[in-house]
Amino acid sequence: MDAKRPETSILIPSIDGSRDGMLPRLLEQLKSQTYQDFEVIIKVGDNRQGRAINNAAGEAKGDYIVIMDDDIFLGHDTLLERLVAAVRSEPKIGMGGASVVVWDKANWLQRRVMIEVPRYAAPVVSEITDSDLAFHGCCILRKDVFFAVGGERENIIRGLDPDLRMRLRGAGYRVALIPHTWFYHLPPATFGKFVKKFFRNGQGSSYIQLMHPEFIYETHTGEGEFVERRGLAYRIFRYPLRLAGHLIHGRLIGFTADCAYAAGVLTGYVKYGWQKRARARAASSGRE
């Protein structure tokens, strides 16, 4: 890297700085990118992804920030070049994401998860396409825009993507997939880890619903008008319809994922509901 200030800062939050060797592999891939005007900032050991990203962004010297998960694989050597070119050419892009696609190196389970579970894969686009399928796994933002909308919410453990997308759109910016860009982000490789992940996601969802319901947003899987929120009744009643759809179409992995997620939600409601009531009692006692 030159001593001059880089144009782009790549921010990678990581719990252990390795992710079973996937982070070192990602760093090696970055050396092969056709675009090299960047620095890499890795934040290790913070289990709050939003806080880790904010801290890294505070150190970033670039005008653009690229956020990457520590367990992704870049799809091609021109990925960064295309991301940067897109935000240079279209100032109204607030968040530009690369498409996540099914990898030929994925095992059978991982392929079925990406095919049957919504938002695990996105088609590669040929033009800038407004989409909720742009997410933190691999995305680019203007640093000044990122801070102008308040950066990441550090107090939520799930739902960073829809929250940031909502605030960017509210400020008049586009959230879009960038043409001819893709990467790989594999689901868990074993059935046990797969079920555990969706159960944990369900618990995280119940935490947001109980503790921070203002951060619950609708996430779209296709193009068209973006609805920010849906009512609780709508979200509850569409769930059995989705389960029935999985069974009708033989999507057993999708059915299992939603069942594990629902079990996590119910468990979380018990766990976090108790915590919420305990806090309310403590607050009430303090006022007496």
List the structure tokens of 86: 């897109």
Do 117 and 43 fall within a single domain? yes
Q: Is residue 206 part of a domain?
A: yes
Q: Is residue 205 part of a domain?
A: yes
Q: Is residue 224 part of a domain?
A: yes
The last residue of one of the domains, among 172, 188, 204, is 188
Please provide the DSSP assignment of 2-62 as one string: -SSPPSEEEEEEESSSSTTTHHHHHHHHHTT-S---EEEEEEES-S-HHHHHHHHHHH--S
The last residue of one of the domains, among 188, 216, 232, is 188
Do 141 and 255 fall within a single domain? no
Instruction: Report the CATH number that the domain containing residue 122 is assigned in CATH.
Output: 3.90.550.10
Q: Is residue 3 part of a domain?
A: no
Do 197 and 131 fall within a single domain? no
Q: Is residue 66 part of a domain?
A: yes
At 237 the pLDDT is 72
Do 223 and 88 fall within a single domain? no
How many folded domains does the chain comprise? 2
Do 84 and 108 fall within a single domain? yes
Do 273 and 144 fall within a single domain? no
Do 175 and 34 fall within a single domain? yes
Do 238 and 147 fall within a single domain? no
Q: Is residue 261 part of a domain?
A: yes
Residue 176, domain extent: 8-188
Do 181 and 38 fall within a single domain? yes
Do 32 and 169 fall within a single domain? yes
Q: Which residue, among 217, 213, 118, has the nearest Cα to 167 in the 3D structure?
A: 217
Q: Is residue 1 part of a domain?
A: no
Which tens digit of pLDDT belongs to each residue from 190-215? 999 999 999 998 998 888 778 777 77
Token pair 């982000």 is found at 185
Do 70 and 125 fall within a single domain? yes
Do 20 and 41 fall within a single domain? yes
> pTM for this structure?
0.87
The last residue of one of the domains, among 164, 188, 212, is 188
List the structure tokens of 102: 């099914």
> Taking the chain (288 residues) in consecutive chunks of 10 residues, what is each chunk's mean pLDDT?
82 94 96 98 93 97 97 97 97 96 94 91 94 94 97 85 92 96 96 95 84 69 56 69 91 95 92 79 66
In whole angstroms, give the CA distance from residue 60 to residue 69: 17
% of residues, the chain, pLDDT over 70: 89
